Amino acid sequence: MEKTKVVLLRCNDYNVDIIERKLREGFSLLGGDEYLRKLIPVNCKVLLKPNLLRISEPGSLTVTHFTVFEAIVRIVKEYTNDIAFGDSPGYGDGLKAARRCGILEVAERYGVKYADFSETVHVVLDEALICKSWDVAKVAFDADVVITLPRLKTHALTYFTGAVKNQFGCIPGMSKKTWHARMPEVENFSKMLLDLNSVVKTSFSILEGIIAMEGNGPSNGTPHRMDTLIMGESITAVDSTAVRLIGYEDPTETPVLKVAKEHNYGPVMPSEIEVLGETIESMKATNFKLCRIAKFTTNVSPILTNLIKKLASPNPALTEEKCIGCGRCREVCPEEPKVITMVKKAAGNRPVWNLNKCIRCFCCQELCPEGAIVTRYTKLGKLLRLER
């Protein structure tokens, strides 16, 4: 059986000329101009999908770096001028997010159009893992070629966010909250993400980890230099390569790739993937702070195992000195009634969670503007080494 090809490149600079050269090296390993002509047919409609999680400054770890965006624009423009870009942030306006982080200026300079993700199209997915009915951004569904540009980051719910998770932005605006409420279990949420990627078919992924985010990701973690670019057609193969670099020896230790493997969604295991360019061993991060791990197994019944896992899983928790009392955590909570109450304290309004009702989606942690919310592990979780 022919293996799926993924390119792993070493890149230690955010200089756009250097990144462009590296990306061209990657495409050369995949087949060069002939490969690109098949990937991007003449004058086809291309959508570039950066990660614009929220309104962030240029160079922020939270969003796709504007130089990576510019480098791929330079290459794509050699094959078509019909290029658009867009995303729907978890909080805030996509155009404002693109302007603040520097991507809009690059787009305007090269004649790349901004695509508003608010207009949706209804799609029925017959061969679904869990979700047949969808309303997704029309421009993403209608594009001939979708190139996703994720940032390598940790994630409190899915452990890691990369090529698969980046397409969650194709669900417009705050309607993402509905999916969190409908899919509180991470296994079902992972199935949903894979179904979404069957609706919005990604043609190619460029995952950037020159400086990745570790710890309290995907928006409030800390930088970890990895000097890494990962390229490929298969979203699962790209993500599998990435998680192996940051410390998951078995890619199925992460929920999305576990579900992908179980349902033969795409190549996940190392035996199914051919890594071109650098080797995994030469590029592995050292002392990378993972957000979560889950190696807990037991010989007792599945019901008891799941109960123990639930009791040992982390909770959202507040770092008091960082909180400004803005209330965004309550606003983005997908549950109705809200599981977060803003309580007046001496230092100002502070969130209090009803953990009996909390679904542990970690939207509050993900979208806190001050990084005041973290995942905190229970004593049982620490005892069982379910979490690191």
**pLDDT tens track for 90-120:** 888 999 999 999 999 999 999 999 999 999 9
pLDDT band at 388 (very low <50, low <70, confident <90, very high): very low
Which one of 250, 283, 316 terminates a domain? 283
pLDDT band at 381 (very low <50, low <70, confident <90, very high): low
pLDDT over 70 percentage in the chain = 93
Average pLDDT, the chain: 93
Q: How many domains in the chain? A: 2
Domain match, 79 and 193 both: yes
Contact, 281 vs 8, CB < 8 A? no
Token pair, residue 171, equals 């669900």
Query: Helix 32-39 and helix 16-30: axis angle, to 10°?
Result: 90
Domain match, 185 and 313 both: no
Domain match, 209 and 60 both: yes
Q: What is the pLDDT of residue 296?
A: 47
Among the listed residues 42, 55, 91, 87, the one whose alpha carbon sits nearest the alpha carbon of residue 69: 87
pLDDT at 387 over 50: no
Domain match, 277 and 320 both: no
Q: What is the pLDDT of residue 294?
A: 63
Q: What is the pLDDT of residue 292?
A: 81
- Higher-confidence position of 308 and 229: 229
For range 62-74, the mean pLDDT: 98
| Residue 67: other Cβ atoms inside 10 A | 22
Buried b (16+ CB within 10 A) or exposed e, 303-327: eeeeebbeebbbbbebeeeebebbe
Please state, in angstroms and as integers, the Cα–Cα distance from residue 357 to each residue in 162, 318, 320, following that order.
Answer: 29, 17, 22
Residue 275, Ramachandran bin (φ over 0: left; ψ between -120 and 50: alpha; else beta):
beta
pLDDT at 297 over 50: no
- Whether 370 is covered by a domain: the verdict is yes
Domain match, 277 and 349 both: no
Which one of 248, 283, 318 terminates a domain? 283
Domain match, 222 and 260 both: yes
Domain match, 255 and 176 both: yes
- Whether 292 is covered by a domain: the verdict is no
pLDDT band at 180 (very low <50, low <70, confident <90, very high): very high
What is the pairing mode between strands 151-155 and 83-85?
unpaired
Cβ neighbours of residue 114 closer than 8 Å, sequence gap 6 or more = 84, 85, 86, 94, 95, 98, 104, 107
Sign of CA dihedral 365, 368, 371, 373: negative
Domain match, 233 and 108 both: yes
For range 74-84, the mean pLDDT: 98
DSSP secondary structure code for residue 152 in this structure? E
Among the listed residues 155, 56, 371, the one whose alpha carbon sits nearest the alpha carbon of residue 64: 56
pLDDT at 291 over 90: no
Q: Which residues pair with 7 in a beta bridge?
A: 231, 276
pLDDT at 29 over 50: yes
Q: What is the pLDDT of residue 293?
A: 75
Sign of CA dihedral 338, 340, 343, 348: negative
Please count the residues of the chain.
Answer: 388
The CATH number linked to 327 is 3.30.70.20
- Whether 309 is covered by a domain: the verdict is yes
Interatomic CA distance for residues 156 and 243, integer angstroms: 14
- Whether 297 is covered by a domain: the verdict is no
- Token pair 């919005």 is found at 200
User: Tens digit of pLDDT for each residue in 298-334?
Assistant: 455 666 666 666 666 789 999 999 999 999 999 999 9
- Token pair 């969190």 is found at 180
Domain match, 276 and 320 both: no
- Whether 296 is covered by a domain: the verdict is no
Domain match, 163 and 130 both: yes
The CATH number linked to 104 is 3.40.50.11440
Domain match, 306 and 254 both: no
User: Tens digit of pLDDT for each residue in 121-171?
Assistant: 999 999 999 999 999 999 999 999 999 999 999 999 999 999 999 999 999
Cβ neighbours of residue 143 closer than 8 Å, sequence gap 6 or more = 45, 46, 47, 84
Domain match, 262 and 355 both: no
Boundaries of domain holding 341: 302-383
The model's pTM:
0.94
